[in-house]
């Protein structure tokens, strides 16, 4: 492990308010570790930020939010990038690595509405907005009387669309609202039994170049092992099924003591068919637990559901 301290670090980040909050949080954590280090933010606009008139599943998926940041790392303009882990593709490009997973925030989905307290309070025909096929499938399976419509844009844009009356309610990640100091917008938190979180939801990750072992050592104090173990198990399940925005898939791990409990589902976009799987065991055996969950899903003909998603 290196005995020196960094002199200057550049953090690549998207320029949305939430992304900037996350980058500033990492900057402040690093500044407390290395007071003499000069730390700069490199704000960037990604294709995912530019394309707002179509759902992610139709325009290229999660990679649209990270490619420009990853290019900045590889060409030396930035030392590291801070991401919402749920926005990251399951395959990290050659030459890069996920060096750190910070302590996970609340991974649950949040129900946001100006006039209703929960999903169960919405009348038939109420319009609910979400950008996620996973959330869409879960909502349509549990509340088939609701109308689910696409919702794109950054967090502030989505809230404005709700407030303008385009939707009766919207579903967002609780962590984003909490991080931006808007917990009062959360009318209720959705139990994972009704909306199982996506792989990595609520977690922030730091990506760096493989060629920078000294940087990995400097960042190591920020890594939260229980969070890292959980999200890596979740991402292994997602990766086994393609890990894209084009399929409604959830994967969620919790750790109690040294035991990991891993749950997952794969569904059709309309929620008419949903298969579930779960496994539990040592938190240090996340890869094996992921393999068990994947095998269970495959034994329930996950391939047929995935094929239906691709056709849709």
Site of tokens 């395959």: 91
Q: Give the dihedral sign, CA 18/88/195/284.
A: negative
Q: Each residue of 99-115: b (16+ CB within 10 Å) or e? A: bbbbebbbbbbbbbbee
What span, in angstroms and rounded, lies between the C-alpha atoms of 107 and 89?
18
In angstroms, the first-to-last Cα distance of the chain is 50
SS3 assignment, position 3? coil
Residue 103 DSSP label: P
Catalytic residue chosen out of the listed positions 87, 91, 121, 270? 87
Site of tokens 């569904």: 267
Site of tokens 């995912």: 48
What span, in angstroms and rounded, lies between the C-alpha atoms of 287 and 229?
9
SS3 assignment, position 149? strand
Give burial (CB, 10 Å; 0-12/13-18/19+) of 257: exposed
Residue 13 DSSP label: E
Listed in sequence order, the DSSP H helices in the chain are 17-33, 47-50, 56-59, 67-74, 133-142, 155-163, 174-179, 213-219, 225-240, 286-299, 302-311
97 forms beta bridges with 208
* 210 is known as an active-site residue: no
What span, in angstroms and rounded, lies between the C-alpha atoms of 219 and 18?
21
Q: Is residue 251 a contact partner of residue 238, using CB atoms and an 8 Å limit?
A: yes
Tell me which residues are annotated as active site.
Answer: 87
């Amino acid at each position: 492990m290196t005995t020196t301290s960094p002199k200057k670090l550049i953090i690549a980040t998207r320029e949305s308010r939430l992304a900037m909050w996350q980058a500033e949080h990492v900057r402040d954590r690093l500044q407390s570790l290395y007071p003499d280090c000069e730390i700069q933010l490199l704000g960037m606009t990604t294709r995912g930020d530019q394309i707002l008139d179509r759902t992610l599943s139709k325009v290229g998926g999660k990679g649209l939010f990270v490619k420009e940041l990853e290019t900045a790392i590889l060409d030396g303009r930035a030392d590291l990038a801070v991401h919402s882990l749920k926005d990251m593709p399951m395959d990290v490009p050659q030459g890069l690595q996920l060096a750190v997973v910070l302590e996970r925030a609340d991974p649950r989905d949040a129900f946001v509405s100006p006039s209703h307290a929960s999903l169960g309070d919405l009348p038939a025909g109420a319009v609910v907005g979400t950008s996620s096929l996973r959330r869409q499938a879960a909502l349509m399976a549990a509340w088939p009387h609701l109308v689910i419509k696409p919702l794109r844009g950054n967090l502030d844009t989505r809230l404005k669309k709700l407030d303008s009356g385009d939707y009766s309610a919207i579903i967002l990640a609780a962590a984003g609202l909490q991080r931006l100091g808007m917990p009062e917008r959360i009318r209720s938190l959705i139990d994972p039994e009704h909306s199982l979180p996506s792989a990595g939801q609520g977690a922030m990750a730091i990506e760096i170049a493989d060629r920078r072992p000294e940087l990995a050592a400097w960042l190591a104090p920020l890594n939260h092992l229980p969070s890292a173990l959980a999200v890596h198990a979740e991402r292994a399940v997602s990766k086994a099924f393609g890990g894209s925005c084009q399929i409604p898939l959830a994967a969620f791990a919790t750790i109690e003591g040294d035991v990991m409990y891993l749950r997952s589902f794969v569904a059709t976009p309309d929620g008419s068919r949903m298969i579930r799987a779960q496994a539990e065991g040592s938190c240090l055996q996340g890869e094996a637990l992921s393999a068990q969950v994947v095998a269970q899903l495959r034994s329930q003909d996950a391939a047929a559901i995935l094929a239906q998603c691709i056709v849709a």
